[in-house]
Amino acid sequence: MKQVYLGFLLLSLSQFLSGQILHGRVLDAETQEPIPLASVFFDGTFAGTSTDEKGNFKLDISKYISRPLSFSAIGYSPYSLENLDPGKSYSILLVRDLYEIEEASVIGDGIARKRKAYMRIFKSEFIGLTTNSRRCYIMNEEDITFNYNSDQDTIRARAHKPIEIHNDALGYHLEYHLESFEFVKETQKVSYQGSIVFTFDLAWEGYRSKVFKRRRRYAYVGSNKEFIRKLWQNSLKSSGYSIRDYSMDKALKYEDVVFLDSLGRKNLKYPGVLEILYYNYSTKIGFLKEEAFIDQDGFFDPTAIIWSGKMAHQRIADFLPYEYSLGR
């Protein structure tokens, strides 16, 4: 009898685990032809795969079922799928990206000089200027193109292939699927949008693992990823964080800013600008949407809030995957 019961438990577990595998197919929206080698991944994680020659994919979504799933392919506009149902087979239709960005036209040797200047700005604003950025390298700079608008003094960049980045400071290799990049020289304002998939972790390289762990810890402590995790846990005070209403200079509590949505998920919500204080550092959060979904591993809806101040200074060179935990 015990053997029968144990067998039933194993069968149920197997069915449950298989039920967390999302199946689907990625197709060209116009021709309905399959798109091979399309990237399917959860932004900021190691969880990703590629479609086969028939456009088929399958991916374990058990850890990230509440997250949007990203789709990207060369020559197509990226797509994001929300409200995932592992019991459903999806047909994902990607639309061809018809927007072509032209390199700035400069006579003679000016082309190379301009491009070098643009690349320097791009890397300082995208990779960052922290200590880790000195050991963070773009492996395929030739796939990045620039456009310079002299009237608005604005530099724009696009990449028609994922930007391959080797972070030898934190010990990661990753791909960034850049959708847009814009830098206004007069105001020094930068904005960029895209998604990241981590492809390799170098921390298992023996003698270098201790160095990577130390640098990762330094990048993590005081970051927006740590803040969101501590906020989700309702442990801000014990971790050295406090939050205030910026305009009213009023201290706030967990209950003032975290609310449950209809699905029981936690959301960050406030009618004004939030100020985060961490020892001597200050960061501000402005809301682009009414509320922003947050998760226990530090994930937040990047389209819902905007950061300024200390935490906003960290860029790609200091970005850690959502699988990161202290000691790894």
Q: Which of 176, 187, 190, 191 is nearest to 43 (CA)?
A: 176
Q: What is the pLDDT of residue 113?
A: 84
Domain-wise residue ranges, the chain? 2-94, 110-204, 221-318
User: What pLDDT, in 10s, does the model give residues 260-310?
Assistant: 998 899 999 999 999 999 998 999 999 999 999 999 999 999 899 999 999
Q: Are 261 and 267 in contact (CB under 8 A)?
A: yes
Higher-pLDDT residue of 9, 313: 313
Quick one: pLDDT band at residue 207, thresholds 50, 70, 90? confident
φ, ψ for residue 57, nearest 5 deg: -150, 160
| CATH number attached to the domain at 2-94 | 2.60.40.1120
Q: What is the pLDDT of residue 202?
A: 85
Does residue 140 carry a pLDDT above 70?
Answer: yes
Cα 109 to Cα 106, 114, 117, 119, distances in angstroms: 8, 9, 13, 16
User: What pLDDT, in 10s, does the model give residues 49-86?
Assistant: 999 999 999 999 999 998 999 999 999 999 999 989 98
Does residue 2 carry a pLDDT above 90?
Answer: no
Torsion angle, CA of 47/53/58/64, rounded to 10 degrees?
A: 30
Chain position carrying tokens 């595998």: 21
Q: Is the dihedral angle over the CA atoms 233, 131, 172, 71 positive or is it negative?
A: positive
| pLDDT cut 90: percent of the chain above it | 73
